[in-house]
Amino acid sequence: MKGRGYITQMSFDGYGVLELQKPVHVPFTVIGDLVEVRKTFRRFGRYIAREFEVIEESHLRQRPRCSHFERCGGCFWQHIKYREQLNLKKELFERATGIEAPIKGSPKIWGFRNISNFIVSTRGIGFKQRESQNVVGVKECPIFSNKTSNFLLTLKKFMKEERLMPWDSKQKFGEIHYFSVREGKFTGDVMVNMIAHIKEVPSSFIDYFDFADSIYWSFKDDSRDEPRGIPVLAGGSPYIREKIGDTIYLIHPNSFFQTNSYATHLLLKAVLDFIEGESVFDLYAGVGTFGVYLAKRGLKVEGIEINSPAVEIANKNAEINGVDARFSVGDVKDVEIGDYDTIIVDPPRKGLKEAVKLITKSKVNNLIYISCNPQVFVRDYKHLKENYEIENAVLIDMFPHTSHIEAVIKLKLK
């Protein structure tokens, strides 16, 4: 499909939309751009521009900071002024949910990510292109760390000395698949995790990465393209620490933690502002990110989490912070909710599913729903609205330079 015209809106996943015979999704554009599309391809039932030119630039544009922008798929909106990014996210959220909510920007928009999972491939070390399996080799990552180039240079020297092969995704062969680095933005702690298809840890591994406070070697026994393996501590501490306000969190290679340390305090404060009463039940507790913070403010917290290692860390987090919070292993669909003043849910990407019935049956007066996907929230709310109504909401930008947004939504029992 070919044609020329102005970008008139943004899609939920960040493409500029050009209305031709059918809508065409044009990457790295913004409302107000005049574009000429020369070639498209179809993916998941829609047309995406493959060859195009921006004839006239929108006033919403800025110069991207990263040298890999438009090739690397990590950031999609670096070409849009940050204030305009926030406006667009607010509009997209309202379009998806019908909720008009204020938005709070990230305190930092560069160097904010506390983790980066570099794909180690025969095509380079870096990240995938958008809508592609191709890996773009990178030398920098401005949203992650100013030490990125040093991390990657050390990795390459280590692999060269040990004669380790990068992963070949076509042949399903190789030794090093992912290189994961975490930084405690407020503590300075660094964790290195090598995800490899060999169990034996090379003798020089610890020496090469001695700048890290925690060094892991994770054996990966499958070919799935995800940065996970069975972690074995090779050197240093089993955890690194991150400090959000006055709360300290332990972080393990396979545990989830909010990726933007600087905006996490805004997220926690938004949840706190929506709390009612004194007793809180955290249905997807993870490592206790919300629960420990709330307990530190005098609330009585109990949490449930299906991942047992995460529960172990959550209870350690409660202990090191000296708070009254208790976390248990369990599946939310099997839990009996007792007499609590507030329920917090931060569900996985698939949403609440069976937990919807559990929540509505509990008749807890105050429900706080944390969502990184407005469409999933809308689906869940179709079931929740029989018993709950939306009272308030606030948006927190945890993901600058992307179309993603985190929402904290307060629902009250009817």
Q: What is the rounded distance in angstroms from the CA atom of residue 16 to the CA atom of residue 387?
A: 37
Q: What is the rounded distance in angstroms from the CA atom of residue 289 to the CA atom of residue 246?
A: 13
Catalytic, 372? Answer: yes
Phi, psi of 118 (to 5 degrees): -85, 125
* Nearest of 133, 204, 216 to residue 168 by alpha carbon: 133
Query: Is residue 116 a contact partner of residue 191, using CB atoms and an 8 Å limit?
Result: no
Q: Token digits for 154? A: 């050390």
- Give every CB contact of residue 111 below 8 A, 6+ residues apart in sequence: 142, 143, 144, 145, 146, 185
* Nearest of 254, 284, 265, 267 to residue 351 by alpha carbon: 284
Distances (CA, A) of 207 to 84, 189, 203, 235: 45, 17, 8, 10
One DSSP character per residue, 288-342 reads THHHHHHHTTT-EEEEEES-HHHHHHHHHHHHHHT--EEEEE--GGGPPP-S-SE
* Nearest of 228, 120, 202 to residue 166 by alpha carbon: 120
Helix (H, G, I), strand (E, B) or coil at 99: coil
Among residues 66, 75, 141, 372, the one annotated as catalytic is 372
Element (H, E) at 136: strand 135-137
Q: What is the rounded distance in angstroms from the CA atom of residue 390 to the CA atom of residue 412?
A: 6
Within 10 Å of residue 383's Cβ, how many Cβ atoms?
Answer: 16
- Give every CB contact of residue 44 below 8 A, 6+ residues apart in sequence: none
In 197-297, which ranges are continuous DSSP H helix?
Answer: 205-208, 261-274, 289-295
Catalytic residues: 372
